[in-house]
Amino acid sequence: MALRLRSLRSNLSILLIQSALLLSVFCTDAKAQIDSLQLDSTVLSAAAKRQLLDLGKAGVVTMDVAELALMPSVLGNSDPLHFVQMLPSMQTSSEIDAGIHIQGCDHQHNLVALDGVPVYGASHLMGLFSVFNPTHYRSMSYSTVANGSNRLGGVIDMHTRRSIPERVGGEASVGLVSAQGTVEAPLSSKSALILSGRGSLVDLLYGNYLHMDDVSLSYGFSDVNATWLWTPTRSDRISADFYYGYDRVDTEKEGADIAIDMFWHNAMAAVHWDHAALEQTLYYSGFKLDVDVAEEGRQAILPSSISTVGYKGGWSKGQLSLMLDAAMHEVLPQSPQISGTGVGYETEDLQRAFESTLSAEWSGTIGFNFDYSATLAAGWYLSAEKKSYFGLSPQLSGTFRFDSGDKLRLSAGIHRQYLFQTGFSNLGLPFEFWLPAGKYGDPQWSVGTSLAWDKSFAGGLEFNAELYYRYLANQLEFVSGFQDMLDGTYSLERSLQKGDGYAYGLNLLLRKTQGRLTGWAGLSAGRSMRSFDGGTWPSNHERLVEFDLVAAYKVGRWDLGGTVVAAGGTPFTKVREYYLLSHQIVSVMGPHNGARLDPYFRVDLNARLHLKDHGRMQHGLNFSVYNATARNQEIYRKVKSNREALTVEFQKMYLGITILPSVGYFLKF
């Protein structure tokens, strides 16, 4: 994890982390890393097999969102992003990590989208909920390779419903942390409207218990979705999507004159038109963060934002597909405004950058057993300083199908990225901010390859193994802390160090698709390294080894489920020496990310009871237990001092709550 705080004297920087930790007590999710590196297509459906995972083609995993009911529902919620984090190519996150780490890549390297439209800030509550209300969507696709998108990592894309409902219907549920609902209504035989909403109950039910390390917390979130569908002809489908969500956090340290307020919100609006072989989308997506910290007459305001207006178009005929993607970005990097310190410095300006990519894909079959795909993408980027960048990104993939049904898959390609995200951590937390390429660094690029083997056995058993390697160029790491801002020594350009990275690993997956008991077991091992001027070290999110087990069992009116995750600890920078000088802590750090937190282990259980139906109404109860073994997970290390006794300790910090049982009610009509 290793949050990079240069001065442990700063109560403000410590409280920023503590507020995230406090939130994470209630943002526990069933994240497990169980994916096979380049899983072909994975389809969850309520078919006869009732399988959670199904391998398909083209390196894409597709999930039927309705099948989330089979998965452990933490605090009454089954979240799509939590499910994908149980796939083997994605690394398990800790309770204060909202990041998505695919095959050794950082959180910023991935595209999270709604029908192809990027969504910035895709998590509530440090990752307990994504911003995607599951009852509003029909499916989710996931790929470990961002073909067709300017990202170095993978793609997670939520898909709205595509058919006109026959009647008015909907779903609703209420749990210990949130309540949510969706209503769908046909407006005519060719049009429909779908509305969804969700709000938190955290303050109502847990307001008196939100304390950790003398920090009290008030938290709330909500989000709304709207989708309009219109099918004027057999060959035309027009739809409009809208999303808005916000999070609010207020913290205060008991016995101290210090308070932190954080507010972030995001919005997305898009219009889609599918006509025969042509698909087009015009969209807007934005995210804005405000952090306000006050201490002893000093005040720090840290605003940042990003907004994108873009167009995506695709056309296909036979073996040929063409795609154009163009976007204008307006970015405000973290721009501190400090008062009451007697120092000042220039703030960051709003920056505009433009990127466009034209790509062509040719796919086909050679003989009876070899499928291939070749893509060439040409990208052009114009920075805020009017500097142009041009690059080609070729990608190749092939699948050889043996007579036995086994498959051997190979892929390789070059990818490019023009937007970066950084900050006090790389864990996907809300106080990270976006940067456009140019002034702060050249566009990032990567070269990656993977080799996978799929084999089927009798009785519904399937095995998958994958090897992968990625080289990451022009990486950035944020090296400043909050104290630099208070001291007046902060500069965004000086706070960024530039380097390269690489990641490699092996993922193994064994799954069972038939019978009452279905599920899978996965094992992954790998490295994710970064090289900067100071040397080469593990990335903050690296786990050397991870094992995951997922099981679902249906009996009568009960759906039972459970997950187990066991993983190595993430890196952190250990304090080698520390002492008190004039009642101030002086720390001498050891090698960067040279130590590791304790190993991670968690068991989650879930039981869903379907009560007797009343006509078209279906309802029931959901029971779940997060961290059923009550293991106290280490989440970070902290220097703690006793000024009266003149002692300093480097202590392990744990979650204040270990086991989290919950109960919820669901209704479908």
Predicted local confidence at residue 53, as pLDDT: 52
Cβ proximity of 269 and 244 under 8 Å: no
Residue 560 lies in a domain: yes
So what's the pLDDT on residue 35?
30
H or E segment at 499?
strand 496-512
- What local confidence, expressed as pLDDT, does residue 426 receive? 59
- What is the biggest distance separating any 2 CA atoms in the chain, rounded to whole angstroms? 80
Are residues 419 and 434 in contact, defined by beta-carbon separation less than 8 angstroms?
yes
Ramachandran bin of 166, using left for φ above 0, alpha for ψ from -120 to 50, beta for the remaining angles: alpha
Block means of pLDDT (10 residues each) for the chain, 669 residues, are 35 34 32 30 36 56 74 68 81 77 92 95 77 89 88 93 91 86 95 94 62 67 95 94 91 67 93 95 96 76 93 96 97 83 68 96 93 95 96 95 91 96 72 90 96 88 93 91 69 87 95 85 94 88 92 89 91 79 72 90 91 91 89 81 66 76 88
H/E stretch holding 388 = strand 388-401
Q: How many CA atoms lie within 13 A of 129 on its CB side?
A: 26
Distance CA 526, CA 549 (A): 18
- 262: nearest Cα among 288, 292, 287, 286: 292
d(Cα 576, Cα 598) in Å, to the nearest integer? 18
Say how far apart CA 426 and CA 260 lie, in whole Å.
Answer: 21
Residue 500 domain-assigned? yes
Query: Which run of H or E residues covers position 324?
Result: strand 320-332
The reply to whether 4 falls in a domain is no
Q: Is residue 6 part of a domain?
A: no
The set of residues, in sequence order, having a beta carbon less than 8 Å from that of 80 and lying 6+ positions away, is 63, 65, 68, 130, 132, 134, 137, 140, 158
Q: 128 is in which domain, residue-wise?
A: 11-668
Residue 497 lies in a domain: yes
Say what the pLDDT of residue 647 is. 66
Helix and strand counts by DSSP (H, E) for the chain: 4, 41
CB atoms inside a 10 Å sphere around CB 500: 16
SS3 string of 179-214? Answer: EEEEEEEEEECCEEEEEEEEEECHHHHHHHHCEECC
SS3 16: helix
d(CA 225, CA 273): 19
End-to-end CA distance of the chain: 44
Question: What pLDDT does residue 7 have?
Answer: 35
Instruction: Find the Cα–Cα–Cα–Cα dihedral 296, 298, 299, 300, rounded to 10°.
Output: -120
Q: Is residue 199 part of a domain?
A: yes
Asked if 383 and 389 touch (Cβ cutoff 8 Å), the reply is: yes
Q: Read off the CATH number of the domain in which 644 is found.
A: 2.40.170.20
The pLDDT value recorded for residue 214 is: 61
- Structural domains of the chain, count: 1
Within a domain: 582: yes
Query: Tokens standing for 156?
Result: 């997670």
DSSP 660: E
Is residue 507, in this structure, part of any structural domain at all? yes
